[in-house]
Amino acid sequence: MAPDLLDTMMSAAAAVIRDNAEALTALDQAIGDGDHGINMTRGFAAIEAEKAAMAAMALPEALQKIGMTLVMNVGGASGPLYGSYFIAMGRAIPPDPLTAAAVAEALIAGALAVQQRGKSAPGEKTMLDVLVPVADAVRAAAKAGTPTADMLTAVRDAAACGLESTRDMLATKGRASYLGERSVGHLDPGAQSSQLLVESICNVVAANLAAAKVEDV
Ligand code: ADP
Ligand code: MG
């Protein structure tokens, strides 16, 4: 991936987390301990601070470095989980060329790593309720040969639907599970941060597609 594109993605991800930190914290206050916004802001600020070095790396190494930075800086349950996600993606993705099928494989590997690390599965009101449908949407688009612009729409929809699906779920993993039935009726904070990250990355790809800086895959 072009260094400037990866650089832009890291800035966009850090900005969306920073801009929504209070909202993430409010969600975590409702069903957790109210630190998700702070945790994520700390992690993505650390990524932004080191982004020049990471953008210069090949994509597999850059993703693994992003993951390690999150493990070291996020804190809370979400740190090791997001960390595992990016590290597994870095291990699964080929350096070049970047095809939709390769991205799908990496996203699936990332979601599986979260499941292993968290001993969790989709349907338990966690970030997985966004990360798994997003991986599935990219895989389906890659199989069907869907043009990238349409794939981005499908991915955004999958993330938004996945996030919304957490509202009526009963939390059975993480701190929210301590609330039992009282967790129902609230969006999951980790699913919200995942949806925001997915949306911000889709926006960067879409802008670069329009500027013909990203090839249709
Ligand atoms: P903590 O729960 O330690 O305070 P955060 O508030 O930063 O950490 O992150 C909470 C989010 O982490 C939850 O909203 C959920 O999406 C995610 N999470 C927690 N436990 C798990 C798990 N076992 N598997 C997947 N995701 C989890
Ligand atoms: Mg928390």
Residue 15 is predicted with a pLDDT of 98
Residue 75 is predicted with a pLDDT of 85
Query: Atom 14 of ligand 1 has which residue's CA nearest to it?
Result: 190
> What is the distance in A from the centroid of ligand 2 to the CA of 149?
35
- Closest ligand relative to 74 C-alpha: 1
Closest listed residue to residue 1, CA positions, set 144, 102, 83:
102
CB 125 within 8 A of CB 32: no
> What is the distance in A from the centroid of ligand 1 to the CA of 77?
5
Query: Atom 20 of ligand 1 has which residue's CA nearest to it?
Result: 174
127 CB within 6 A, ligand 1? yes
Closest listed residue to residue 36, CA positions, set 44, 28, 46:
28
Query: Atom 19 of ligand 1 has which residue's CA nearest to it?
Result: 174
Residue 169 is predicted with a pLDDT of 97
Tell me the residues surrounding ligand 2 (ion) with CB < 5 Å: 28, 32-33, 35-36
**Tens digit of pLDDT per residue, the chain (217 long)?**
787 999 999 999 999 999 999 999 999 999 999 999 999 999 999 999 999 999 999 999 999 999 999 999 998 899 999 999 999 999 999 877 889 999 999 999 999 999 999 999 999 999 999 999 999 999 999 999 999 999 999 999 999 999 999 999 999 999 999 998 999 999 999 999 999 999 999 999 999 987 766 766 6
| CATH number for the domain running over 3-216 | 1.25.40.340
Residue 108 is predicted with a pLDDT of 98
The number of angstroms, rounded, from the C-alpha of 191 to the middle of its chain's C-alpha atoms is: 9
CA pair distance 77, 71, nearest whole angstrom = 10
Hey, where are the domains in the chain?
Answer: 3-216
Residue 106 is predicted with a pLDDT of 98
Residue 202 identity (one-letter amino acid): C
CB 149 within 8 A of CB 206: yes
- Ligand 1 atom nearest to CA at 127: 16
Percentage helix, strand, coil for the chain under 3-state DSSP, each rounded to 5: 75, 0, 25
Residue 129 is predicted with a pLDDT of 98
Close Cβ partners of 145 (under 8 Å, ≥ 6 residues apart):
none
19 CB within 6 A, ligand 1? no
What is the token pair recorded at 134? 């997003």
